[in-house]
Amino acid sequence: MRKGYLLVELLGVMALMIMVTLVLDSLFVNLTRDIPRSHRMLEENNYLQGILVQLEADIDGAHSIYQDPEASEPNAIFQAPIVIELDDITVSYLQEEDGIVRRTLEPALPIPSDPNEPNPNQRKWPLNYGRLKWKVWMRDNEGCAVEVQTYMEHSVSGTKKKSLANSRVFFSGANPGAGIR
């Protein structure tokens, strides 16, 4: 009976340990990078769903819908804002670099003097990965529907990928008097 290991046996064990380490490394990368990113994307998808619920309610009660190219900034990379006229208010949806903003245009509510209180004329949904594109469908020079495309855009190994893509069409006047205030 011998008291030690042969060099070949030690090299074999070391090679096996390297293979196990490589497998565990990819698992560790998935646990520390991919799972949290997927969680953030799903949370942001919930933000997109909230935007769609508000947008659908506003469009359902709309008397008039149009895109306002005049309201977008001169060198904006985003599409023109949507303006929706409801029974008693007019709202707009505008894309900004870090999210989507819904603004009450008319009648504007008084802005609180305390800077810590939220502006009642504006609601903002922050987005990092989420993308939302809209297009007003026209009939007889009037907006009759809004097509909305949503997706998540993320970078994997330096390549931009799209996931959770979705497309919807909301028709105006489907429920007059609707709209979430």
Q: How is the chain split into domains, by residue range?
A: 10-171
Containing H/E element for 83? strand 82-85
Q: Distance of CA 86 to CAs 26, 49, 109, 116, Å?
A: 53, 21, 16, 29
Q: What is the pLDDT of residues 127-171, one digit of tens each?
A: 888 889 999 999 888 899 999 999 988 887 788 888 888 999 999
Least confident stretch, 40-49, 111-120, 166-175: 111-120
Give the tokens for residue 161.
């990928």
Q: What is the pLDDT of residues 78-104, one digit of tens each?
A: 678 999 998 888 999 998 888 899 998
- Contact criterion met (CB below 8 Å) for 164 and 154: no
Phi/psi for 90 (5° steps) reads: -125, 130
Spatial CA neighbour of 150 closest among 9, 17, 53: 53
- Contact criterion met (CB below 8 Å) for 49 and 151: no
**Beta-carbon neighbour count of residue 52 at 10 Å?**
16
